[in-house]
Amino acid sequence: MSANPLQGAQFVLAAHRINQLPADSGAEVAFAGRSNAGKSSALNALTGHRGLARTSKTPGRTQQMVAFSLPPLPQEAGQPPLDVRLIDLPGYGYAKVPPELRDHWKQEIDLYLHQRRSLRGVVLIADIRHPLKEFDRMMLDFCFATHLPCQLLMTKADKLSRGQATQALLAMRKSFPEGLPATAQIFSSSAGTGVEEAREAVVRLLRTPRE
């Protein structure tokens, strides 16, 4: 197994508003997904840091934008290492969150996606056993409209047979509109399925300048 390029991730801060995030420089990748799709488990698996993002029996615990720093990313010869981060966006769609907080997050996520210049791509987390929900489709539509690359992790693949998971993946790829800058993959944080592929995708996103 190759060395984990995302190892060494550290909690920096939790922000209630976009202007509380770290300085908008360097490069970052945002993690988005519904509250019960396994976003925290995916972050922990990718960074190899079991306690980095809180996982909980109660979905919807990420109530703020959480910034994690990564070790500087080496670049091509002659270029200084790149200052890189992961941003965990609030879990979306959890029923017990008060409506005013839901509205606040909808607005802040919208501002974040439109205004953040260091944002290089989105990792969208969705449960492979269910069709994409409205929030997931909205994220893909946004990526399509703004040419923002997206890596879709179809999580909890260990709950399906290999054949079922492959079928779900093919169906998902077929459903993407032409020109959508998105790649879908099978993922399971508990079984380790697709973890290396997803790590490589995150590093690729961090290295790719915005159009």
| Segment 22-59, tens digit of pLDDT | 999 999 999 999 878 899 999 999 999 988 877 555 54
Distance CA 124, CA 202 (A): 11
Mean pLDDT, residues 201-210: 94
Query: Is-contact 67 85, C-beta < 8 A?
Result: yes
The model's pTM is 0.93
Tokens linked to 139: 């994220």
Residue range 109-161, pLDDT digits in tens: 899 999 999 999 999 999 999 999 888 999 999 999 999 999 999 999 999 99
Identity at 161, one-letter amino acid code: S
Domains of the chain, each with CATH number or no CATH: 10-207 (3.40.50.300)
Q: Kindly state the tokens that stand for 125.
A: 């987390």
